[in-house]
Structure 1
Amino acid sequence: MSEIGILGGTFDPFHFGHLSIAEAAIKEFDLSEVILLPTKVQPFKIGREMASEEDRVNMVRLIAKENKQFRVSTIEAYGQRVSYTYKTLKLLQKEYPDDKFYFILGTDSFLTLEEWFKGKELLQEFAFIIGVRPGYKTSETEDTAKRLKERYNAEIKMLHNEIVEVSSTEIKNNIRSGKSIRDLVPLQVERYIDEHGLYK
């Protein structure tokens, strides 16, 4: 049985914050790989302007091409209109019946996990790795983890990742104002954004 991390997100675009959490999860918990899972439209982001599924998938594929422990799944990006984590993990479970999944979350998402679509079932049926995000207190995250473990017998591991202060909003603002994004995204992503004129 392999232990596989799953890192989902709009990846609009994929940046060093995403990369940091994925690499830290592999290292700290000895994961065999991390599946990068670009979403189509997250329920709470409906209506926002985003790069196309194709562009976001292509950028993530460029990252996976450089790292043998990353794989890309397009099950959400090219699937149903709205992505629900529970449905996606159930589908992936059928593809990898002998493996164990750890869904990787940032602190911000983790604190509202119970309120997600089938949040209770998620917590009861799947394991989680929580990466630290800027602006959140460690005590708040640990208290939430303790409560969810007690209520749902959930398997939750805390990741001791380095905090990388970067956001997709900052990247897009820099592009629109002509500033460099070299310190915010991997080189392959920077080149792709430039070549395809994204976010201008």
Structure 2
Amino acid sequence: MKIGLFFGSFNPIHIGHLIIANSMQATTDLEQIWFVVSPQNPFKKNSSLLHEFDRFDLVERAISDNPAFRASDVEFHMPKPSYTIDTLIRIQEKFPQHEFRLIMGEDNLAQFPNWKNYEQILEYTGLYVYPRPGSKPHAFANHKAVRFVEAPLLDISATFIRSAIKKGISIKYLVPEPVEQLIKIRKFYQ
């Protein structure tokens, strides 16, 4: 089976993530999308980062109605910060019967050469890239291991959602209803 790996903090997961994942699964050869919840991104500060288990719960609730989606906590059992190449190797070792592709926003391509062993990632899994607002031309535009996938151009940010929650502003329609309910029940991001 060919599986797309969608890494992220998912702090919180929102409809933008789900729309991208659905577009990837519906318009490519990817049969499943696995949401890899990252405990700590080496490029981001984690000051407003909800605990990894809580973010995993939010992802599971968000995707529970889609059998082609799965949540993965593989990075919870790895040294922090975890690097994508190490996670890809771990996943491939654990699931040798599957073929994996890394899903990435076009805005991340500019930083991609800064990733640990980025050449090996290209060789190992390749990239399925979705468009992002304000993305600039990049060196990977014609790379054989990079596939650009047509998807809606979305500009929904978890930062905006967290800010809205702190201000008491409704996040209805920005996150799936089960996610909104869990955020309210557990008083996340307040």
TM-score of the pair, normalised by structure 1: 0.90
Query: What are structure 1's unaligned runs of at least 5 residues?
Result: none
CA RMSD of aligned residues (A): 1.4
Amino acid at match of 1:58: D
TM-superposed CA distance for 1:47, in Å, is 4.2
Q: 1:78 to 1:53 in 2, by over 3 A?
A: farther
Q: Which runs of 4+ in 1 moved over 4 A?
A: none
CA distance in 1, matches of 2:169, 2:64: 27
CA distance in 2, matches of 1:127, 1:100: 11
TM-score of the pair, normalised by structure 2: 0.94
Post-superposition Cα deviations, 1:57-109, rounded to whole Å, max 9, x if no partner, equal 00011123211001111011343221100000001111221221110001121
Aligned to 1:112: 111
Q: Match for 1:158 among 136, 143, 148?
A: 148
Contact 1:40 1:78 in 2 (8 A): no
Aligned to 1:144: 140
Aligned to 1:33: 32
Aligned to 2:56: 57
User: Does 1:191 find its partner at 2:181?
Assistant: yes
In percent, how many aligned pairs have the same letter?
A: 30
Aligned to 1:171: 161
Give aligned pairs, total. Answer: 190
CA distance in 2, matches of 1:89, 1:196: 32
Higher helix share: 1
Amino acid at match of 2:70: R
User: Does 1:66 find its partner at 2:54?
Assistant: no
**Residue pairs, 1:15-26, within 5 angstroms:** 15-26=14-25
Structure 1 SS opposite 2:11: coil
The farther-off stretch of 186-195 and 73-82 is: 73-82
